[in-house]
């Protein structure tokens, strides 16, 4: 039996607004359709309250009926807000020429990603030339702790910020490389900070090779991250940690420069074992 979650409306000065947002947050890529009784039960709301909130969200276009008008899916108004948000980010436009060049030079998909809590959010995507590519889309979210590009974003947090972020948030395992404890995650992030970039194969998805680097703002803080990904291809480790790493870091540094970021030191060379082509779980 699902235990009702505590809604963010509890104790809020505008409970109806926050509970309405709680309803929208229930919808996921893996769960696009939800019934009104489920919404009421999972948020611990009286059915009448949930019904009124759903009616308001439906009238504004944030929800729409599905399955013979019995259940609900997200409506087009949500998508409009999402695109308006992306359009308001100067970085998306600034990064476009660098990401398209990165895609063209490597042949692999290029991405710009931000972080929202314990999740990463894809802000832009430029598909690679391969017929086999990841199906990730703009606006999609993935767990930060379990993804290469998520580690780039988490590495900028202090130990205290990281502990606060994951307090009460279990780390789900996706592959045998996924860190499932804070200690294991911190150990990976310490190596990532020292290296200045992150690269791995099959870290989140079997056969997926990713190389990622941070984009910094004028304060030096990590504002976003970029990556290239290749699915179902065998790429020698010395290429991943050599040529591809150099191209990704160069693009990230160029975007950072447009954001007036202070100059950064060049990432240190990859471990000797990586240059020799031995498996690397980083």
In terms of C-beta density within 10 A (0-12 exposed, 13-18 middle, 19 or more buried), how is residue 175 classed? middle
Q: In the prediction, which pLDDT does 281 show?
A: 35
Strand ranges, E, within 75-221: 109-116, 119-126, 141-143, 198-201, 208-216
DSSP string, 105-142: HH-SEEEEEEEETTEEEEEEEE--SSSS-----TT-EE
**pLDDT at site 164:** 94
Question: So what's the pLDDT on residue 82?
Answer: 67
Structure tokens at 168: 């009460």
Q: According to the model, what pLDDT value does residue 169 have? A: 87
**Are residues 24 and 160 located together in one domain of the fold?**
no
Burial 31-45 (b: 16+ CB within 10 A, else e): eeebebebbbbbbeb
Question: Which parts of 167-265 fold into alpha helices (H)?
Answer: 182-195, 237-239, 245-258
- Return the number of other C-beta atoms located less than 10 Å from residue 179's C-beta: 18
CA 46/CA 51 separation, integer angstroms: 9
Q: Do 177 and 261 form a contact (C-beta atoms < 8 A)?
A: no
pLDDT for 86: 56
Q: How far apart are CA 216 and CA 11, in angstroms?
A: 36
Strands in 155-265 per DSSP E = 198-201, 208-216, 222-231
280 within 8 A of 237, measured Cβ to Cβ: yes
The verdict on 98 and 206 lying in the same domain is yes
pLDDT of residue 268: 52
- Give the pLDDT confidence of 116-150 residue by residue, as tens digits: 899 999 999 998 876 455 667 888 889 999 999 99
- Which CATH number does the domain housing residue 185 bear? 3.30.450.40
Do 228 and 98 belong to one domain? yes
210 with 97, same domain: the answer is: yes
Mean pLDDT by 10 residues, the chain (282 residues): 49 75 88 92 92 93 84 85 62 90 93 92 86 70 94 94 91 92 94 93 89 92 93 86 94 89 62 40 34
- Would 6 be classed as within a structural domain? no
Residue 279 confidence (pLDDT): 36
97 and 51 in a common domain: no
What is the structure's pLDDT at 132? 55
Enclosing domain of residue 48? 15-75
- Residue 180 located in a structural domain: yes
Helix (H) / strand (E) element for 87: namely helix 76-88
User: Do 21 and 121 belong together in one domain?
Assistant: no
Dihedral class, residue 68 (left if φ above 0, else alpha if ψ from -120 to 50, else beta):
left
186 and 104, same domain (yes or no): yes
Residues 246 and 268 in one domain: yes
Q: Is residue 151 part of a domain?
A: yes
151: Cβ–Cβ under 8 A, 6 or more apart, which residues? 144, 145, 188, 189, 192, 198, 212
Query: Considering its fold, how many domains does the chain have in total?
Result: 2
Q: What is the CATH number of the domain that holds 54?
A: 1.10.10.10
156 within some domain: yes
| DSSP element (H, E) containing 65 | strand 63-66
């Amino acid at each position: 039996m699902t235990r009702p979650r505590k809604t963010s409306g509890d104790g809020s000065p505008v409970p109806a607004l926050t509970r309405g947002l709680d309803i929208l947050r229930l919808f996921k890529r893996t769960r696009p359709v939800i019934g009104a009784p489920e919404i009421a039960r999972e948020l611990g709301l009286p059915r009448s309250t949930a019904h009124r909130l759903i009616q308001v969200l439906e009238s504004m276009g944030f929800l729409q009926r599905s399955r013979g008008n019995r259940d609900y899916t997200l409506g087009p108004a949500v998508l409009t807000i999402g695109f308006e948000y992306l359009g308001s980010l100067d970085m998306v436009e600034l990064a476009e020429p660098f990401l398209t060049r990165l895609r063209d030079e490597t042949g692999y998909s290029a991405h710009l990603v931000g972080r929202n809590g314990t999740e990463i959010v894809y802000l832009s995507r430029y598909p690679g030339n391969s017929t086999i590519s990841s199906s990730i889309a703009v606006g999609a979210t993935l767990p930060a702790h379990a993804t290469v590009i998520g580690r780039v974003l988490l590495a900028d947090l202090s130990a205290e910020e990281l502990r606060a972020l994951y307090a009460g948030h279990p780390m789900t395992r996706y592959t045998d490389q996924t860190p499932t404890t804070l200690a294991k995650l911190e150990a990976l992030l310490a190596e990532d900070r020292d290296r200045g970039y992150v690269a791995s194969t099959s870290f989140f998805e079997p056969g997926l090779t990713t190389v990622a680097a941070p984009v910094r703002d004028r304060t030096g803080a990590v504002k976003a991250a970029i990556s290239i990904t290749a699915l179902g291809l065998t790429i020698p480790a010395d290429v991943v940690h050599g040529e591809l790493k150099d191209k990704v870091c160069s693009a990230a540094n160029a975007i950072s420069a447009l954001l007036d970021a202070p100059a950064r030191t060049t990432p240190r060379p990859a471990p000797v074992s990586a240059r020799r082509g031995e498996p690397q779980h980083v």
